[in-house]
Structure formats: C-alpha cells, structure tokens
Amino acid sequence: MTDVRTAHTSGLTDAELAAVRALMDDAFEGGFSDEDWDHTVGGMHALVREGGELIGHGSLVQRRMLHRGQSLRAGYVEAVAVRADRRRQGVASAVMDALEEVLRRGGYELGALGAADEAVPLYAGRGWQQWRGPSAVLSPAGVQRTEEEDGCIYVMPLTAKLDLDGELACDWRPGDVW
C-alpha cells in the first residue's frame, strides 16, 4: 500500500531525513551535492512510502523571484526523485499532487522549478508552463543572466500576472541557483 505524507522539514525525524538524502544520492547517481541538500530542506516535503520504505520525494521551498519590477513569493520545487525500481508507475505524480496542493494553499504567487529533460513531460502534462524568456539571478554582484537555464524553467502562475517571454530572476543561493 502506498502512503503519501506532507510535512515540514522540522516535522521529519532524523531517520526520515537520512532516508530522503539516501534516495537523492541514489536517484541522482552521486550527483546530489551538499548544496543541493541545503536547497531541499527548510520547506514542505512530500514523502511517498510503500511498505514503510521511502520510494518518492519532493520538496517545496519558498524563494523570491523578480519579474517586471516586482518581487514575487514563489514556491520552488526541489529534489523530486523516485526510487529506480518504481519509476514510471505514478509515484512522481503522487509527489507532485501533494506539492501542488501545498503550493495552491501556501500563499504563493507562483510555482517554479528547474526541469531536467526527462521530467519535462511530467511537468508539462500537469499544466506547468515553460518560461520562454531570459532567466537570471539576483547575485551579490547584481542581476546576472543564467543563459544555461533558459528553456529549463517551468512555472505555475497562481496570483501573479506573468509574461512568459519576459525576464525572470531568482534569488541568489550557493550552488545551482535554479
């Protein structure tokens, strides 16, 4: 039986956090850094378990986005992963169902995420829209373009009026900014 639970990082046990980190390390085949882990915690998590074992995860953290001269409160999706033997069986959809529910009732103006190529059908099929305009980061040195992220960013407008062809800048953080 599959169980989906949402909880804030502060509501997770040390064992649950260790299981999430282990899933990330396995799913990203060693490409999940300590900075990526830092981006994962501090918000809401969707945990999918089967038989007591963690088989899927995603988190939603608050970030600030700059668009058309406005600072927008964004729910940013991080660390979506499914155990290898359970992929393509609806687990990622269950994770996103839970995160999108939090997103809709969490006081956010938009949802945002950086999509890996293989995840685009999942997000696009759920109504997430590709950001067509230029991407940037509000870095300590000012606004800097992030051309390498263009075409990889997806948004879910909630209350904000968005121009998908305009510039979208995220707040700065160590590691991958998007």
Query: What CA–CA distance (Å, rounded) separates 116 from 113?
Result: 10
The CB density around residue 83, as the number of other CB atoms within 10 Å, is 18
Q: Are 17 and 8 in contact (CB under 8 A)?
A: no
Which residues lie below 8 Å from residue 148, measured CB to CB, with a gap of 6+?
A: none
Give residue 77's pLDDT band: very low, low, confident or very high (50, 70, 90). Answer: very high
pLDDT tens readout for residues 113-168? 999 999 999 999 999 999 999 999 999 999 999 999 999 999 999 998 999 999 99
Task: Output the pTM of the full model.
Answer: 0.95
- pLDDT classification of 30: cutoffs 50, 70, 90: confident
* Per-residue pLDDT at 1 exceeds 80: no
Q: CA 14, CA 20: separation in Å to the nearest integer?
A: 10
Q: Is the pLDDT of residue 56 over 80?
A: yes
Residue 2 — pLDDT band, cuts 50, 70, 90?
confident
What mean pLDDT, rounded, does the chain reach? 96
What pLDDT sits at residue 64? 97
Q: Does domain 2-171 have CATH number 3.40.630.30?
A: yes
